[in-house]
Amino acid sequence: MNDTTAGYYRRSPLARTLAWFTAIAVVCLAFADIDITTVDPWAEFGRLALGLVTPDFTATENLLHAIAMTLAFALLGVSLSVVLGFALALVFHIALVRGFCAVVRAVHELFWALIFLQVFGLSPLTGILAIAIPYAGIVAKVFAEILEEADDRALRTLPPGTGRLSALLFVRLPDVWAHYKTYALYRLECGLRSSAVLGFVGLPTLGFHLETAFRQGNYAEAAALLYIFYVIIATQRLWARRQLLPLYLVAAAAILPWSSAISGANIARFFTADIVPFPLRNGEGLAGLLEWLHNLLIQQALPGTIATVQLTMIALLATGLLSALFFPLVSPVMFGRAGRTAGHVALVVIRSTPEYILAFVLLQLWGPSMLPAIVALALHNGGIIGHLVGRYTETLTLRDDAPRGLARYGYELLPRVYNGLLALLFYRWEIIMRETAILGILGIATLGFYVDSAFAELRFDRALVLIAITALLNIAIDMTSRRVRRHLRLRTTLEGR
């Protein structure tokens, strides 16, 4: 390194931070298991491709039921979360509320579903709460941030002595209401994705059949299910209308099979027996408990945490690189109308596919290493960031004599969107970590793998400890990410959330 580059790294906190992140990711990659283990992945890929062009919409038993359930869980879960999140956002200045929201959103909806499956069984409450609870934490945080960042000029003109409630209702809320609506609509899209994915752990949504179809190699059926899913998401803006919402909610509540009884005894048993560490239930006392905890931490939590962090850091770097590759595809500064349309379609497909499903497909093709998870996380998150950054470039005007082609990308475009892209990337760091843990359910040895094993062995005491560790890890990443963004003065706009 010569003098000027060294000087540059000393002066620029951004370059220094990025160098650190890159170095960490490269070290993680060096130790990562990224082999393609299938002997002939292309034969399977050929079958998948064939399935994608010959979707079979008749193969799924109870297809309409699965679609209705996917919509019902999403609508009810998201509505509940928006109401709860709104209420929490109003008292978000209370530290306890902030902490509560951080904890509930740090636990992935699939983990919530696995817990509620024990408590409520296959009752509709399981699906609704699995979406509503983590989402309420997310909504509360975003709504509170919107409120905080709102223009406060109107507020400052209020006469002294104006009640807080009046100020909120008549001055502050009207300002942010449109933002809230936009965000709620976006949450519904996420809710549809989550609802579908909940099928992977047994709820009767599209994911239930999608998982089976992919696992059994029925790609024509899987393709049909995926296409239905894309259509639901892509047409959301057409059917998700405020006037119809009450009607939808009533219909959703009406079709869910409420008759499956919820037993108070089951709920009580879960909290008073199931999650009590086994040595305590077995009367082995404190010594037994410590040994149990020690074994759990050393044999499962530690390797799981290492793999989780490793995968997160690699995926973060890969997401950053892919975002930089993706955004020009939808940027009017780089491509004409035809090229952009193709780019839009590609990015819509990539970002609408839940990363869980992407990873699942790649895992079938390449075999169980970290590679499918890295690629899935990078594609999905890169698709989202690429789309947002690409949209931002629509507001740029270049000089008439601006360079063209690669030079335009490298010297004009990238420098201008660089900070925005990084802000989004660091914002999604925590989201990537959440997903990383969950990908363990697919067999990659992150924390989710051990959580899934604990549930498979019906050891809810262990599952809960591991989920708590996952949540702590998420909260730590969230805090670090916020610190990094503040340090680098990176701001995320509303759309980025």
Q: Please report, as ranges, the residues that interact with another protein according to CB under 8 A.
A: 33, 37-40, 43-44, 59, 61-62, 64-65, 67-68, 71-72, 117-118, 121-122, 199-202, 204, 208, 211-213, 215-218, 221, 235, 237-239, 241, 244, 247-248, 251-252, 254-257, 259-261, 263, 266, 278, 282, 367-368, 443, 452-453, 455-459
**Cβ at position 240, least distance to another protein in Å:** 9
The 10 Å CB-count burial string (b at 16+, else e) for 144-179 is bebbeebeeeeeeeeeeeeeeeeeeeebbeebbeeb
User: Measured from the CB atom, is 69 or 333 closer to another protein?
Assistant: 69
**Cβ at position 146, least distance to another protein in Å:** 27
User: Measured from the CB atom, is 244 or 290 closer to another protein?
Assistant: 244
**3-class DSSP state of 400:** coil
Residues 6+ apart with CB under 8 A from 444: 307, 311, 359, 363, 368, 369, 370, 372, 373
User: Measured from the CB atom, is 288 or 339 closer to another protein?
Assistant: 288
Q: Taking the alpha carbons of 184, 185, 190, 196 in that order, is the dihedral positive or negative?
A: positive
> Tell me, what amino acid is at 446?
T
User: Measured from the CB atom, is 294 or 489 closer to another protein?
Assistant: 294
End-to-end CA distance of the chain: 38
User: Measured from the CB atom, is 300 or 381 closer to another protein?
Assistant: 300
CA distance 448 to 305: 10
- The CA-based angle 335-338-339, given to 5 degrees, is 40
**3-class DSSP state of 20:** helix
User: Measured from the CB atom, is 279 or 382 closer to another protein?
Assistant: 279
User: Measured from the CB atom, is 41 or 339 closer to another protein?
Assistant: 41
Q: Which two tokens stand for residue 181?
A: 């609506």
Residue 79 contacts residue 249 (beta carbons within 8 Å): yes
Residues 6+ apart with CB under 8 A from 157: none
Q: Where are the alpha helices (DSSP H) in 256-301?
A: 264-269, 278-281, 285-296
CA distance 389 to 481: 19
**Cβ at position 37, least distance to another protein in Å:** 6
Alpha carbons within 13 A on the beta-carbon side of 30: 6
CA distance 435 to 226: 20
The 10 Å CB-count burial string (b at 16+, else e) for 366-395 is bbbbbbbbbbbbbbbbbbbbbbbbbebbee
User: Measured from the CB atom, is 45 or 335 closer to another protein?
Assistant: 45
**Cβ at position 473, least distance to another protein in Å:** 23
Report which of 267, 260, 127 is spatially closest to residue 200, judged by C-alpha positions: 127
**Cβ at position 59, least distance to another protein in Å:** 8
Report which of 64, 75, 74, 69 is spatially closest to residue 244, judged by C-alpha positions: 75
**Cβ at position 145, least distance to another protein in Å:** 31
User: Measured from the CB atom, is 122 or 476 closer to another protein?
Assistant: 122
DSSP characters over 330-372:
G-TTT--HHHHHHHHHHHHHHHHS-HHHHHHHHHHHH-SSHHH
User: Measured from the CB atom, is 112 or 455 closer to another protein?
Assistant: 455
Length of the chain: 497
User: Measured from the CB atom, is 62 or 480 closer to another protein?
Assistant: 62
**Cβ at position 222, least distance to another protein in Å:** 10
